[in-house]
Amino acid sequence: MDLRNGLRPLGSTPAEFEQDLLSNLYYRRGTTVESASAQDAYETLALTVRDRLAARRARTAAAHYESNPRWVYYLSAEYLLGPQLEQNLLYSGTTDLAPAALKALGFSPEEVAALDVEPGLGNGGLGRLAACLLDALATLDIPAVGYGIRYDLGIFKQEFQNGEQVERPDDWAFQGDPWEFPAPDDWQTVGFYGFIGPEGWVPGEVVHGEPSHLLVPGYGTETVNIVRLWRARAAQASFDLRRFSAGQYAEAVQDAVRAENISKVLYPDDSTDMGRELRLKQQYFLVSCSLRDIVRRFRFRNSDWADFPAKTVIQLNDTHPTLAIPELMRLLVDEERLEWEQAWSLVRSTFAYTCHTLLPEALETWPVEMLGRLLPRHLEIIYKINAELLDEVRSRFPGDVSRVRRMSLIQEEPERRVRMANLAVTGTFAVNGVAELHSQLLTSTTFTDFAELWPDRFTNVTNGVSPRRFVRLANPGLSTLITSGLGSDAWLRDLSLLSGLAPLADDATFRSQWRAEKRRAKAALGLGDPGAMLDVMIKRFHEYKRQQLKLLHVITLYHRLRSNPGAFGVPRTVLFGGKAAPAYYAAKSIIRLINAVSATIAADPVSSGLLRVVFPANYNVTLAEKIIPAADLSEQISMAGKEASGTGNMKLALNGAITIGTLDGANVEIRDRVGADNFFLFGLDTPAAAALRASDYRPRSVYDADDELRAALDAILGGAFGGVGQDVAQSLLDRDEYLTLADYRSYVDKQDEVSAAWQDQEQWTRMSILNTANSGFFSADRTVADYLSRIWHATPVRPA
Ligand code: PLP
Ligand code: GLG
């Protein structure tokens, strides 16, 4: 008899849920109703909800085992999963049961919900994309596992002190993480350093990777997948009792500390050699643990290596996990004793690579010296792959020496370094960009030589976002309205159905309900007057994203307000959100200047009720879910040709914000879909921006020729904003790397059109509804469907 058939199903009535909550409080949390704290209640609730998903997980795993399917493995250094409680309540169908049960036991549901901590295991778009793709994979019933690192400290917490960004450690799992299943017995061994002896690589340092997993439920289906995160532990006996007894307490644990540092923080500061080496260690740690786990799972049902690619596709999320390519070669050749050619053919049929950037400086390279010291055998393997690559290039393009130099996996000048992107393209069967324009630019600029050698390898998969998290959970009021407008909530699993809202843009009652939802979301955000236009720029701080352009516009508005308050048409609240990398001084200067401008405007009575600048600290998924529903205007104003895709742009459009943007990244596709009339386009396009950059561009002439621009920059230079930001203004005048001044006039004029449009609220609402109605394409479900048909070729497996 299969015992699983006798598993007691977990109940779905209020009484059963309450019973389970109580029994978990007693038996698993070990406390009582009388003495339970809010934390006890939160953790008990998490267990009660998690159990319901775990039951589905067990059925999913059984179905996967039974069908021995092709697996999609997603390797990513980052996951921005967002808060788990609300999502898991929704996906387990317990959203209504939970608060009632908590109240019945005397707890405040709000107080309990507030204890849910967001695991900040990523930086921004790339990490959040990884989380949205996992959500869609489970929703589409695809057998998939996400692999990552369980950083002790996630992305830093941002605070402002005197307007400056200060970074605080984010000890997100300080209380433990009730959503997580630790599986310390599944540990893997990872080697570093050492030498290559007659028997092969002998590592000089060994650490353990201990996994734990979080459940990744699908929406509207039984499937529950997992994301498996590795944590570094010292191999046994690292505690030196002799030293401890001698009073050398720090020295006694130094080996353990060194090992555990590997999963201590996301992106350790890489301004020192030590920091850079730690990053490389993290990358290999992730790859080595995950590949061994993948092989272990392959072996449950398979024994012939020739079947590996038929059962396994491994997606490399950017170059961070690229060491997986030489690592799988090492496992196959050194440990499994396969011939090099067979191993290489398996590797090249297993991996695929997503590139997320166009910035040349973001393409990772590692010093040959460092890589060879940390991973001597991998460097050998990389050299051999390179020799074969260059032979192929030479035979296809005889005599083209400079091509050989460009395509080599090894950069020679000014220092010998391994080019990870070239390795990623060479060791995979598919390479994709993340929006149409980006994928075109990859083959026409970044990877031209490779695209000429292997044209079929390159493809596009435009990014998408989870409508469950970013509409249903973030914006419940609007979701209810959409469902009533469409007559069903099927749009949550098929977002193209949103197109059914388009006719409602002409329905005055629906428009007024739509406006009421925006106002409600603005009121809930509590930042500014719900009658004012909420103009938002939320994303990481980077000069290419051009927060400085938005700021120049704000200063221009302020100057107009001061010179003629009576003529200031539309009240605006301008909201910035985002973090700067701790060592990125230019970005931090922009943050400081924004806070200074905000303070100056707030202190001036003339701006009262007309212009505000708000900058809530610590932009993360939790905050995004509050801001996005409230936004009226979405700022997507990067220099054309720099933003690979953007995903915030999609989330905002889906929630009815209208975009002001350049023709960059996925903005192009958003505009195509929502219609040029419902999108505020400005600025240079990619060819024009590239041409201007290549010419003798003089930002100072632009400054000389534009009175408002000159006034804005002069105000900063003259110390009008608390005397800060001169460095920002100076760098715009001297270099203006990202053509901020060149696009200023076009941007400010377009913003005047935005203000004029806002004055016709009926028309604005029509545009807002049409943005939502025509953004169904940007569902992560569609993205995953594209990955499946273009790259992964895996099929759904549904639990019985
Ligand atoms: N950070 C967080 C917390 C997000 O939710 C998102 C996407 O919505 C991003 C960063 C990426 O923003 P963008 O695509 O505008 O760069
Ligand atoms: C990158 C890019 C974004 C992109 C995201 C997801 O800069 O344009 O939307 O990946 O593909 N680091 C990132 O956020």
- Torsion sign, CA atoms 751, 508, 629, 658: negative
Decide if 522 is catalytic: no
Ligand nearest to the CA of 652: 1
Decide if 540 is catalytic: yes
What value does the mean pLDDT take over residues 49-55?
A: 96
Instruction: Please tell me which residue in 545, 550, 579, 592 is annotated as part of the active site.
Output: 545
| 546 and 437 fall within a common domain | no
| 294 and 171 fall within a common domain | yes
What span, in angstroms and rounded, lies between the C-alpha atoms of 375 and 235? Answer: 18
> Cis peptide leading into 565, omega within 30 of 0?
no
pLDDT, one tens digit per residue, over 79-102 is 999 999 999 999 999 999 999 999
Whose Cα sits closest to atom 14 in ligand 2?
125
CA of 622 to the centre of ligand 1 (A): 11
Phi, psi of 189 (to 5 degrees): -100, 135
CA of 58 to the centre of ligand 1 (A): 33
Q: How many CB atoms lie within 10 A of CB 760?
A: 11
Atom of ligand 2 nearest to the CA of 647: 9
Say which residues have a Cβ less than 8 Å from residue 587's Cβ, sequence separation at least 6.
Answer: 541, 542, 543, 580, 581
| 456 and 505 fall within a common domain | no
Tokens 């989380």, residue located? 131
| 227 and 309 fall within a common domain | yes
Decide if 168 is catalytic: no
Q: Does any domain span residue 755?
A: yes
Q: Does any domain span residue 233?
A: yes
Instruction: Please tell me which residue in 356, 377, 469, 588 is annotated as part of the active site.
Output: 356
Structure tokens at 329: 């070669």
Q: How many CB atoms lie within 10 A of CB 728?
A: 25
What value does the mean pLDDT take over residues 508-534?
A: 95
Give CA angle at 54 (51, 60), nearest 5°. 155
Decide if 539 is catalytic: yes
Written as one letter, the residue type at 123 is N
- Torsion sign, CA atoms 470, 476, 478, 481: positive
| 453 and 509 fall within a common domain | no
Structure tokens at 61: 């795993």
Q: How many residues does the chain have?
A: 800
Q: Does any domain span residue 780?
A: no
Q: Does any domain span residue 620?
A: yes
Q: Does any domain span residue 782?
A: no
CA of 355 to the centre of ligand 2 (A): 9
| 362 and 448 fall within a common domain | yes
| 567 and 521 fall within a common domain | yes
| CA distances from residue 281 to 267, 288, 371, 382, 568 in whole angstroms, order as listed | 11, 10, 9, 17, 56
The answer, yes or no, to whether any atom of ligand 2 lies below 6 A from the CB of 124, is yes
Percent of the chain with pLDDT over 70: 99
- Where does the pLDDT of residue 498 fall: very low under 50, low under 70, confident under 90, or very high at 90 and above? very high
Q: What is the mean pLDDT of the chain?
A: 96
Decide if 545 is catalytic: yes
Instruction: Please tell me which residue in 56, 233, 469, 539 is annotated as part of the active site.
Output: 539
Q: Does any domain span residue 9?
A: no
| 390 and 508 fall within a common domain | no
pLDDT, one tens digit per residue, over 622-665 is 999 999 999 999 999 999 999 999 999 999 999 999 999 999 99
Structure tokens at 386: 């390179």
| 494 and 551 fall within a common domain | yes
Q: Does any domain span residue 366?
A: yes
| 477 and 449 fall within a common domain | no
pLDDT at 297 over 80: yes
What value does the mean pLDDT take over residues 773-800?
A: 97
CA of 752 to the centre of ligand 2 (A): 29
What span, in angstroms and rounded, lies between the C-alpha atoms of 760 and 262? Answer: 56
Decide if 647 is catalytic: yes
CA of 286 to the centre of ligand 1 (A): 24
Q: Does any domain span residue 309?
A: yes
What span, in angstroms and rounded, lies between the C-alpha atoms of 308 and 331? Answer: 13
Contact 682, 660 (CB under 8 A): yes
| 592 and 685 fall within a common domain | yes
Whose Cα sits closest to atom 10 in ligand 1?
124
Structure tokens at 285: 């740690």
- pLDDT for position 495: 98
pLDDT, one tens digit per residue, over 7-37 is 777 888 999 999 999 999 999 999 999 999 9
The answer, yes or no, to whether any atom of ligand 2 lies below 6 A from the CB of 644, is yes
Instruction: Please tell me which residue in 438, 542, 579, 651 is annotated as part of the active site.
Output: 651
Phi, psi of 213 (to 5 degrees): -130, 155
The domain spanning residue 633 has which CATH number?
Answer: 3.40.50.2000
CA of 78 to the centre of ligand 2 (A): 12
Instruction: Out of 78, 123, 128, give the residue to mutate to test ligand 1, the one with the largest number of ligand atoms within 8 Å of its CB.
Output: 128
What span, in angstroms and rounded, lies between the C-alpha atoms of 282 and 370? Answer: 14
What value does the mean pLDDT take over residues 336-364?
A: 95
CA of 538 to the centre of ligand 1 (A): 7
| 516 and 653 fall within a common domain | yes
What span, in angstroms and rounded, lies between the C-alpha atoms of 89 and 665? Answer: 34
pLDDT, one tens digit per residue, over 266-293 is 877 777 888 899 999 999 999 999 999 9
The answer, yes or no, to whether any atom of ligand 1 lies below 6 A from the CB of 634, is no
Atom of ligand 1 nearest to the CA of 80: 3
Q: Provide the domain limits for residue 39.
A: 14-66+91-115
Q: How many CB atoms lie within 10 A of CB 734?
A: 10
**CA-based nearest residue to 729, from 590, 570, 585:** 590
Contact 280, 371 (CB under 8 A): yes
pLDDT, one tens digit per residue, over 167-184 is 999 999 999 999 999 999
Count of structural domains within the chain? 3
- Where does the pLDDT of residue 5 fall: very low under 50, low under 70, confident under 90, or very high at 90 and above? low
Instruction: Out of 129, 156, 470, 540, give the residue to mutate to test ligand 1, the one with the largest number of ligand atoms within 8 Å of its CB.
Output: 540
- Where does the pLDDT of residue 669 fall: very low under 50, low under 70, confident under 90, or very high at 90 and above? very high
Structure tokens at 26: 């007693």
